Amino acid sequence: MVDWSAGPTVLYTALYMASMRTQVYLTKEQRAKLDALAKREEKTLAELIREAVDRYLETEPSAADRDRILAETFGALPDLEVPPRSEWDRGYG
Protein backbone atom coordinates (compact mmCIF):
# COMPACT_ATOMS: atom_id res chain seq x y z
CA MET A 1 0.00 0.00 0.00
CA VAL A 2 1.31 3.46 -0.93
CA ASP A 3 1.54 6.15 1.75
CA TRP A 4 0.32 9.33 0.01
CA SER A 5 0.92 11.45 3.11
CA ALA A 6 4.45 12.13 1.86
CA GLY A 7 3.05 14.82 -0.42
CA PRO A 8 2.64 15.66 -4.11
CA THR A 9 6.21 14.69 -5.04
CA VAL A 10 5.51 11.04 -4.26
CA LEU A 11 2.22 11.20 -6.14
CA TYR A 12 3.89 12.80 -9.15
CA THR A 13 6.68 10.22 -9.15
CA ALA A 14 4.23 7.33 -8.86
CA LEU A 15 1.98 8.55 -11.66
CA TYR A 16 4.56 9.87 -14.12
CA MET A 17 7.71 7.90 -13.40
CA ALA A 18 7.90 6.70 -17.01
CA SER A 19 7.53 10.23 -18.41
CA MET A 20 10.23 11.98 -20.40
CA ARG A 21 11.21 15.59 -19.88
CA THR A 22 10.52 17.62 -23.04
CA GLN A 23 11.23 21.27 -23.67
CA VAL A 24 8.56 23.23 -25.55
CA TYR A 25 8.69 26.91 -26.46
CA LEU A 26 5.42 28.83 -26.04
CA THR A 27 4.54 32.38 -26.96
CA LYS A 28 3.92 34.81 -24.12
CA GLU A 29 0.22 34.74 -24.95
CA GLN A 30 0.04 30.93 -24.91
CA ARG A 31 1.87 30.78 -21.59
CA ALA A 32 -0.35 33.45 -20.02
CA LYS A 33 -3.52 31.64 -21.12
CA LEU A 34 -2.21 28.29 -19.90
CA ASP A 35 -1.18 29.78 -16.55
CA ALA A 36 -4.66 31.28 -16.10
CA LEU A 37 -6.31 27.97 -17.06
CA ALA A 38 -4.03 26.03 -14.70
CA LYS A 39 -4.95 28.34 -11.86
CA ARG A 40 -8.70 28.04 -12.59
CA GLU A 41 -8.58 24.26 -12.86
CA GLU A 42 -6.06 23.85 -10.03
CA LYS A 43 -3.70 21.86 -12.24
CA THR A 44 -0.05 22.18 -13.15
CA LEU A 45 1.11 23.43 -16.52
CA ALA A 46 2.50 19.95 -17.21
CA GLU A 47 -0.88 18.33 -16.50
CA LEU A 48 -2.64 20.68 -18.93
CA ILE A 49 -0.09 20.03 -21.66
CA ARG A 50 -0.19 16.24 -21.19
CA GLU A 51 -4.01 16.31 -21.35
CA ALA A 52 -3.94 18.45 -24.50
CA VAL A 53 -1.41 16.13 -26.16
CA ASP A 54 -3.54 13.11 -25.26
CA ARG A 55 -6.66 14.72 -26.77
CA TYR A 56 -4.73 15.61 -29.94
CA LEU A 57 -3.35 12.10 -30.31
CA GLU A 58 -6.82 10.58 -29.86
CA THR A 59 -7.94 12.43 -33.01
CA GLU A 60 -5.03 11.09 -35.08
CA PRO A 61 -6.30 8.47 -37.52
CA SER A 62 -4.92 4.96 -37.19
CA ALA A 63 -2.77 3.41 -39.91
CA ALA A 64 -5.80 1.37 -41.02
CA ASP A 65 -7.92 4.54 -41.26
CA ARG A 66 -5.22 6.30 -43.30
CA ASP A 67 -4.98 3.32 -45.67
CA ARG A 68 -8.77 3.22 -46.04
CA ILE A 69 -8.96 6.96 -46.75
CA LEU A 70 -6.19 6.73 -49.35
CA ALA A 71 -7.87 3.74 -51.01
CA GLU A 72 -11.24 5.53 -51.10
CA THR A 73 -9.80 8.69 -52.63
CA PHE A 74 -7.24 7.19 -55.01
CA GLY A 75 -8.04 8.33 -58.52
CA ALA A 76 -10.62 10.83 -57.28
CA LEU A 77 -9.50 13.31 -59.96
CA PRO A 78 -8.88 11.07 -62.98
CA ASP A 79 -9.44 13.95 -65.43
CA LEU A 80 -6.98 16.30 -63.76
CA GLU A 81 -4.58 17.67 -66.34
CA VAL A 82 -1.11 18.50 -65.10
CA PRO A 83 1.04 20.63 -67.39
CA PRO A 84 4.37 19.15 -68.44
CA ARG A 85 7.39 20.15 -66.39
CA SER A 86 8.67 22.26 -69.27
CA GLU A 87 5.67 24.59 -68.74
CA TRP A 88 6.07 25.00 -64.98
CA ASP A 89 6.77 28.54 -63.83
CA ARG A 90 9.87 28.11 -61.71
CA GLY A 91 9.72 31.70 -60.41
CA TYR A 92 13.21 32.65 -61.51
CA GLY A 93 14.90 33.79 -64.71
Q: Classify each residue of 65-78 as buried b or exposed e, where b means 16 or more C-beta atoms within 10 Å of its C-beta.
A: eeeeeeeeeeeeee
Do 24 and 49 form a contact (C-beta atoms < 8 A)? yes
pLDDT digits (tens, 9 = 90+) for 22-60: 999 999 999 999 999 999 999 999 999 999 999 999 888
26 Cβ partners below 8 Å, 6+ apart?
Answer: 34
Q: pTM for the complete prediction? A: 0.51
Do 35 and 45 form a contact (C-beta atoms < 8 A)? yes
Domain extents in the chain: 24-71
Q: Does domain 24-71 have CATH number 1.10.3470?
A: no
